[in-house]
Amino acid sequence: MMMMRSLKRLAVFALIAAFVAGCAGGGAKKGYEKKSGVGPGMNEAGEVIDSKQVESGYGEQVKGLGDWEGEITGKMAPDSKFKELKIGMSMRQCMDLAGAPTDQGGHMTGKAWIPWYFGSDRHRYELVYKGQGRLIFAGGSVGDYSSGHLIWIIHSANEGGYL
């Protein structure tokens, strides 16, 4: 009887250890994989037609300020407000350069629900600029209550201006 109880405790402990290891590894960064072909919401020329449908992986992977990594998707217009923006900039810096957005919004990511994840990207925030495109920010590491850092620039002359 005592041995069965010990085996049950050992099994429960093993399950808990596996769960904790899985949660801790859930925030690990996976390598960037460039996808081939025409991405959703894009045309053959690499232009973004519908920015609401765009998926990451079809743009150019870049390293920005403060070792932030991000992506730039679509073709920049000659008169783009996004010319001086760099991956890794804060939202305040981006708004100082690009001006006020037409629309904006945010959401939590799955990483926000991992109990032992203390990295960034616990939430995403998006700024939409009519006729220009979208700026996506990642933020929310423990103790970081800012709006995040720029991780994705989507250039789109067809941007309607709303989320």
Instruction: List pLDDT tens digits, range 74-112.
Output: 999 888 999 999 999 999 999 999 999 999 988 777 776
Output the average pLDDT for the chain.
80
- The pLDDT, as a whole number, for residue 111 is 74
CA dihedral 107, 48, 132, 62 (to 10 degrees): 70
pLDDT for residue 163: 84
Is the pLDDT at 127 greater than 80? The verdict is yes
Query: Does the pLDDT of residue 24 top 90, yes or no?
Result: no
pLDDT at 32 over 90: no
| pLDDT class of 7 with cuts at 50, 70, 90 | low
Q: pTM for the complete prediction?
A: 0.74
Domain locations along the chain? 51-163
**Average confidence (pLDDT) over 133-152:** 80
Top-confidence range, 5-19, 36-50, 84-98, 111-125: 84-98
Q: How confident is the model at residue 55 (pLDDT cuts 50, 70, 90)?
A: very high
The 10 Å Cβ neighbour count of residue 76 is 16
Mean pLDDT of 143-149: 68
State the Rg of the chain over Cα: 20
Which residues share a beta bridge with 139? Answer: 123
Query: Is the CB of residue 117 less than 8 Å from the CB of residue 24?
Result: yes
Which of 116, 155, 111 is CA-nearest to residue 136? 155
Strand partners, 154: 73, 134
pLDDT for 145 equals: 56
Task: Name the pairing type of β-strands 149-155 and 69-73.
Answer: parallel
